Amino acid sequence: MAKEIKVEQAIEKAGYEPITGRSIIVSYAATNLSDKVAKFFSNEFYVFQMCKNEMVLVPFGKWTWSLKKDVVLEIPYDSINSISVTESGLNYNICIKTKTDEITLSAQQKELSDFRSAGILATDVTGSTNWHKDNLDATLEALKNLKK
């Protein structure tokens, strides 16, 4: 649906410096089983992009799944106290603790992403490239090493 180059261009246009190969598809992680069911039906997904000085989230439309042009969350690296990445079922939870907040995001594992929302959103119209799958390992590793 969205080419990675288009994602980077949208983020650059918003005034950020995206790092190539450090974008993945995420959603907010569920807090309990009821929330998991609700989130399953919500269709709320975001591009998580690591940039030069911060990480940002850019939403997809709930029903159109087209990339919106607005950054809805910006987390400067210097405001982060810790980051942890843990496996959770078929996903990874990314917990970002800042001085004031704790944000937990969920990223679908790459092995099944071609058949799940992340792969659908991150595969261009030709079906040739799933950039979520291509970027996942390096992005998670970069996050783990960010606050060492």
**For domain 4-146, is the CATH number 3.20.20.70?**
no
- CA distances to 2, 11, 16, 27, 109 from 93, rounded to whole Å, are 23, 23, 25, 10, 10
pTM over 0.85: yes
Dist. CA 115–CA 105, nearest whole Å: 20
C-alpha span between 1 and 98 (Å, rounded): 32
Helix (H), strand (E) at residue 85: strand 80-88
Task: Give tens-digit pLDDT for 62-111.
Answer: 656 677 778 889 999 999 999 999 999 899 999 999 989 999 999 999 99
Going from N- to C-terminal start, the domains of the chain cover 4-146
Stretch (H or E) spanning 8: helix 4-13
